[in-house]
C-alpha cells in the first residue's frame, strides 16, 4: 500500500460508517487540502457502492478538519441500473466538516464521440518548480506531490503575475504510483489558487467543489490546466481540467472559493 492509499483509506465499521485517519502530510499552511479530503470520502462511497468509480462528487466545505481520526457517514439515496447516489458526511468529534453528494458508476475504456484538444504545454524540462516551503510554514502537501509549472503561470512568484487567473502544470505523486480515480480527486485541487496569477495573494479557502471523473487515467504524468472567469466581492471561481499522458481528458472540476487576505 502506498502512502497516499494509506492516508486515504476508509475502513468499514458498518453499512453506513467508515473510519478514516486524516494525514497531516496533506496540509496547506495548516488546513488539509480539499482534494485529499474528498479522496478519503470517495473511497468510503465507492466501497459501499455496487459500482467502482466516483464519477461525480459535489462537496460543501463547512469547516476545516484537523489531522487525526474521523468518520465518513453515508446515506444511500438511490441505486439504479447504471449509477448509485449517496450523501457522504465527514464527521470529526461529533461535528460535520464536509457534506458531499457522490455518484458512482462504472466507466469503460470507450472512444469519445467528441473530445476537445489537449492543452499545449512546454516540455517538462522547460517547466519550473515552486521553491521548497519553509518547514515552519505547514505546507506539508508539497512533499507528497510533484508539480512542474508552465513558467508564465507562476510569474506571481517574482512579482510579475500574468494578470489572468490561470495555472498550468504537470502533476504526479512523489512516490511511485500510477494515477487512479482517488489520485485525480487530489489532482483537481493541487494547483495554487488561479487568483495568484491575477495579482491576488493570501489564503483562498474552498467553499464548494464539484469534480467529475471522465475516464480512468493512463500511467504517467498528468497535466493540470486551471482557469477562472470572475473575481468579485471577495469570491472567485476556479475550473480545472486534468489530462493524462495519453492526451485524454480524465477529470474536470469547478470550485467556488473565498479570496482571503495576504
The answer to whether the CB of 63 falls within 8 A of the CB of 69 is: no
Residue 183 predicted with pLDDT over 70: yes
* Residue listed under C-alpha cell 489532482: 187
What distance in Å separates the CA atoms of residue 197 and residue 173, rounded to the nearest whole number? 24
Residue 204 predicted with pLDDT over 60: yes
Strands of 6-62 (E only): list them: 11-14, 17-22, 53-61
Whole-number percent of the chain with pLDDT over 90? 87
**pLDDT value of residue 262:** 44
| Residue 13 φ/ψ, nearest 5 degrees | -100, -45
What distance in Å separates the CA atoms of residue 77 and residue 72, rounded to the nearest whole number? 15
What distance in Å separates the CA atoms of residue 116 and residue 130, rounded to the nearest whole number? 29
**pLDDT value of residue 126:** 97
Q: What confidence tier does 203 reach under pLDDT thresholds 50, 70, 90?
A: confident
Residue 165 predicted with pLDDT over 50: yes
| Residue 17 φ/ψ, nearest 5 degrees | -125, 130
**pLDDT value of residue 111:** 87
| Residue 255 φ/ψ, nearest 5 degrees | -135, 155
Q: What confidence tier does 23 reach under pLDDT thresholds 50, 70, 90?
A: very high
**pLDDT value of residue 137:** 80
The distance from CA 44 to its chain's CA centroid, rounded to whole angstroms, is 16
The answer to whether the CB of 200 falls within 8 A of the CB of 165 is: no
The answer to whether the CB of 144 falls within 8 A of the CB of 35 is: no
pTM above 0.75, yes or no: yes
**Homologous superfamily (CATH) for 3-106+123-258:** Acyl-CoA thioesterase, double hotdog domain (2.40.160.210)
The answer to whether the CB of 231 falls within 8 A of the CB of 188 is: no
Q: What confidence tier does 77 reach under pLDDT thresholds 50, 70, 90?
A: very high
Among 85-89, 200-204, 221-225, 255-259, which stretch is predicted with the lowest mean pLDDT? 200-204
**pLDDT value of residue 261:** 58
Q: What confidence tier does 101 reach under pLDDT thresholds 50, 70, 90?
A: very high
Report which of residues 123 and 119 the model is more confident about. 123
What's the whole-number mean pLDDT along residues 51-80?
A: 98
What distance in Å separates the CA atoms of residue 82 and residue 69, rounded to the nearest whole number? 33
What's the whole-number mean pLDDT along residues 189-211?
A: 94
| Residue 8 φ/ψ, nearest 5 degrees | -115, 5
Tell me the pLDDT of the chain averaged across its residues: 95
Torsion 29-140-72-183 (CA) sign: positive
Amino acid at each position: 500500500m502506498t502512502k497516499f492509499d494509506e492516508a486515504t483509506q476508509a475502513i468499514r465499521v458498518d453499512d453506513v460508517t467508515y473510519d478514516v485517519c486524516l494525514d497531516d502530510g496533506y496540509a496547506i499552511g495548516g488546513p488539509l487540502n480539499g482534494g485529499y479530503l474528498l479522496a478519503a470520502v470517495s473511497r468510503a462511497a465507492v466501497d459501499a457502492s455496487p459500482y467502482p468509480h466516483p464519477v461525480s462528487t459535489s462537496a460543501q466545505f463547512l469547516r476545516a478538519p484537523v489531522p487525526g481520526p474521523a468518520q465518513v457517514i453515508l446515506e444511500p439515496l438511490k441505486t439504479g441500473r447504471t449509477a448509485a447516489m449517496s450523501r457522504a458526511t465527514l464527521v470529526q468529534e461529533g461535528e460535520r466538516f464536509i457534506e458531499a453528494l457522490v455518484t458512482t458508476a462504472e466507466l469503460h475504456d470507450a472512444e469519445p464521440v467528441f473530445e476537445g484538444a489537449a492543452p499545449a504545454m512546454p516540455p517538462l524540462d522547460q517547466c519550473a518548480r515552486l521553491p521548497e516551503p519553509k518547514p515552519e510554514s505547514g505546507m506539508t502537501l508539497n512533499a507528497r506531490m510533484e508539480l512542474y509549472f508552465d513558467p508564465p503561470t507562476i510569474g506571481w512568484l517574482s512579482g510579475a503575475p500574468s494578470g489572468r487567473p490561470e495555472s498550468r502544470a504537470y502533476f504526479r505523486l512523489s512516490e511511485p504510483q500510477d494515477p487512479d480515480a482517488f489520485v485525480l480527486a487530489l489532482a483537481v485541487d493541487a494547483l495554487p489558487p488561479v487568483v495568484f496569477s491575477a495579482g491576488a495573494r493570501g489564503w483562498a479557502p474552498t467553499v464548494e467543489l464539484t469534480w467529475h471523473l471522465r475516464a480512468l487515467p493512463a500511467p504517467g504524468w498528468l497535466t493540470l490546466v486551471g482557469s477562472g472567469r470572475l473575481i468579485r466581492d471577495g469570491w472567485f471561481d476556479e475550473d480545472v481540467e486534468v489530462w493524462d499522458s495519453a492526451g485524454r481528458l480524465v477529470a474536470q472540476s469547478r470550485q467556488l472559493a473565498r479570496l482571503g487576505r495576504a
